[in-house]
Structure 1
């Protein structure tokens, strides 16, 4: 191996000697991806992120860019002359690689970093990006969401890179540290547990750290006039809720339900997988609730509008809680495995509603069965979903991945029995805890626990264009509406 200084001298001499020739050059910066069938440019090859350390400075206005510094600690998995990061919607000021200034360029929604020297397979890679993080011009579900008093994050499915440079795919989970500096009259919270709080003049800096690896789409930072409400959950688990300060008393009847929800979920699938839990209630209209890790995001209106019965609101709270096991602790290897997240969360939502509010699971599944062929026609089979509509990434979250996928779990329970199904669920969340897994992994585990090959069952239920007959319910029918004929 050539010493660095000799390598640079040799490169300069070669360049001078071939001034009249067409010189070989590195490829032009281009967006890359890890080959996800639904998001082909998401994620980046050649490295595995171990940890993020992200600092935001919020000046008090949610219509102005935040100053930010993102530090990435990664392991190189193949030799790289340049490193692609997912990042857009911000201005990059400087980049360093392993302490040295690096060149950078943008290509599509990638930030392409060229270090002074190639990074070798097996080495550590430390990237520091000084940048802005811009909350303007975003819609719900596209990174920062502006609230009445500040900001929250909603990064699913591919919007974390609108907030910070990252390897923005759930296949690459990492530990996170957040440092948020904001005016002292505001409260900043993030995933994990608080590790520091320090005031300097008129601002306060808050630090939070996760104790378990996390996918970028599950990152959460909230800044606003918030109250942090603490209580104790099962086995002494710290429960932390974050709510608009003015609504703290009004929302307490809902907040007090979380320890019971945790106990119920642990009865179903085993110990809660993280260091803390709570709900984050934001005064914003997003059109959805979101399972950001350890701190699920909810719209204020679902609790205050009076538009929904109590049992329904509780079941939605359980839905997001169930995701902490299904989707957060056990994350999808590809976005086509999304049914494992949403199907399971919808399943436990429905089970809770049946047990606590006498809302029949069987009737819900029968209704889903009636609509299932239409859902498959519109969105694809559960494990082979159609790509999201162009420009509407959130459209990936169609009915087929919710009750259409819970229906698969119902059929599986009908096939292998309640006892084996319960063992499967517990084995799934314990065996793949803090990792990623695929549909094939779930099918293989189900076959092992059932003691028989279930590949035919899963092929039909997860990949078929039409819904198979429901075991134990030969009278159930699903009829797709015929598409209109072309004229």
Structure 2
């Protein structure tokens, strides 16, 4: 029988009506949602059970006005891990949701705290594909602790620790890493940049260009980087021909070049200690904004331009901070903490290499920094909790995840371990850790187990005392070192 246009229209109308009826019946039969999480002790509202994200495909459209919300679209490819999902949660706060589709069909959605709760027209079951398509906005200002940072000429993203879901819907917890594609549309004259590799640059009509970037390795949501600005992209080679791409304000190329030119040597220095760089490329994003921090966004570390060019900071210090963020590409980005309480694994190692690199270039001797950290360690533990068990905040307070005990106090733990097992086993442990857990998640228990395996010693009691103890244990080889709650002894 021939299919006429009128029959097609009637069929489409019937399908839409049935879908709407099903959605209404499902919504009526399911209790009102409450925010969920995956049980993180520091961020209990982050993450969502029932599915595993495999890939994100995220589009942002920037019109050259950084204080306007960005029209956006987030497509998520996931695998259902629960027996069945009548509804599921995504972390998303601040933006306006225009519409949601699940596996090609319209889906209902509503808010529950900082969760977007989606009710598909047809429930999904274990091992079924879960393809979510969300049209939304991404707010660029007026959002407390938002992911977007305004620069002099546009926007950059700084999503750590818990702000990615204020820019796009996600399973915003480091335990659910996924592959990312970014499609960035901007007016001609604006450079759109994201982590990973540029795989497409196409006209989008109306004098706009769409830039498409793809990350080759899985990434935690908090490590995403997107930038819009009047930027220059500089290219050079790193070790064994690795592409190095730097993104800088167009008028600052000459001032920044002496610092950017140091990256290949810094990469070679770290590779000697940790093995091959774990990603497809690397670079520095120098933002024209008073950031007050640097951030290890995956493959493209974020710095404030003034930090790199200002004469206020000594050369050795700026170089050591660059190495800190570069070391995170191994510790934190490639090997990602499974829980936020495991953050010491990232910050302690990055601080360790920061100190050693800085000392080799005229900075403070490592021994001096270690002894100072030991002197203050008890005070830090009292205020912030021990390195692997940061203090849980009171209700209504934000967790203080980036505290001195997670940086200097955790580097001190690594020194104590090296004192216990020796330099050779410690060096083997560093390489084994970054190789065994590459592209994955790891915990403090994993580190303790691997340290014992590499050294042939049972280090459980030793490391648990250093990582979870309220008081700082005696430092092997330094019986004269002292610590006190006030941090003044020693």
Structure 2 length normalisation: TM-score? 0.92
Partner Cα separation in structure 2 for residue 282 and residue 388 of structure 1: 32
- 1:408 maps to which residue? 413
Query: 1:326-353 deviations in whole A, cap 9, x for unaligned?
Result: 0000001000000001000000001111
Consecutive unaligned residues in structure 2, runs of 5 or more: 1-14
1:222 aligned onto 2:227: yes
Contact 2:94 2:143 in 1 (8 A): no
Deviation at 1:392, TM superposition (A): 6.2
How do 1:124-139 residues align onto structure 2 when only pairs under 5 Å count? 124-138=129-143
How far off is 1:24 after superposition? 8.1
Residue 389 of structure 1, CA deviation? 6.8
Aligned to 2:157: 153
Residue 325 (structure 1) aligned with residue 330 (structure 2) = yes
Residue of structure 1 in register with 2:176 after alignment = 172
Q: Which runs of 5+ in 1 are unaligned?
A: 16-22, 483-487
- The Cα of 1:388 is off from its aligned counterpart by 4.8
- Which residue number in structure 2 is paired with residue 90 of structure 1? 95
CA contact (8 A) 1:86 1:110 kept: yes
Residue 76 of structure 1 is matched in structure 2 by 80
Distance 1:183 1:422 in 2: 49
Displacement after TM superposition at 1:393 (Å): 3.9
Map of 1:370 onto structure 2: 375
Q: Structure 2: how far apart are the matches of 1:264 and 1:421?
A: 17
- Written as runs of structure 1 = structure 2, the 5 A alignment for 1:439-454 is 439-454=444-459
Residue 394 of structure 1 deviates from its aligned partner by: 6.8
Using the TM superposition, give the Cα deviation of residue 363 of structure 1 relative to its aligned residue in structure 2, in angstroms. 1.0
1:233 to 230, 238, 250: 238
Map Cα deviations across residues 468-487 of structure 1 (whole Å, 9 max, x no partner): 000000000001129xxxxx
**Match among 93, 102, 109 for residue 104 of structure 1:** 109
Question: Using the alignment, how far apart are the partners of 1:281 and 1:344 within structure 2?
Answer: 24
Of residues 464, 467, 478, the one that matches 1:462 is 467
Q: CA deviation at 1:300?
A: 1.2
Match of 1:51 in 2: 55
Residue 398 of structure 1 corresponds to 403
Distance 1:392 1:238 in 2: 42
RMSD: 1.7
- Mapped pair 1:438 → 2:431: no
Residue in 2 aligned with 1:190? 194
CA distance in 1: counterparts of 2:294 and 2:399, whole angstroms: 13
**Contact 2:37/2:48 (CA < 8 Å) preserved in 1?**
yes
Q: Secondary structure at the match of 2:170?
A: coil
| In structure 1, distance between residues paired with 2:129 and 2:249 | 42
Name 1:19's counterpart in structure 2.
none
272, 275, 297: which one aligns with 1:267:
272
Q: What SS class does the counterpart of residue 377 from structure 1 fall into?
A: helix
> Secondary structure of 1:378's partner?
helix
Alignment check: 8 A CA contact 1:388 1:396 kept:
no
1:99-158 deviation digits (Å, cap 9, x = unpaired): 00000000000000000111100111000000000111146x630011111000000001
Query: 1:390 Cα shift?
Result: 6.2
Distance 1:265 1:340 in 2: 17
Distance in 1, Cα, partners of 2:37 & 2:335: 22
Aligned to 2:212: 207
Is 2:45 aligned against 1:41? Answer: yes
Determine the structure 2 residue equivalent to 1:485.
none
Aligned equivalents of 2:95 and 2:363: distance in 1? 49
Aligned length in residues: 465
2:396 and 2:62 map into 1 onto residues whose CA distance is: 29
* Counterpart position of 1:18: none
| Cα distance in 2 between the residues matched to 1:269 and 1:180 | 34
After TM superposition, the score normalised by the length of structure 1 is 0.93
Matched, 1:293 2:262: no
Q: Which residue of 1 aligns with 2:10?
A: none
Q: How far 1:357 sits from its partner (Å)? A: 2.2
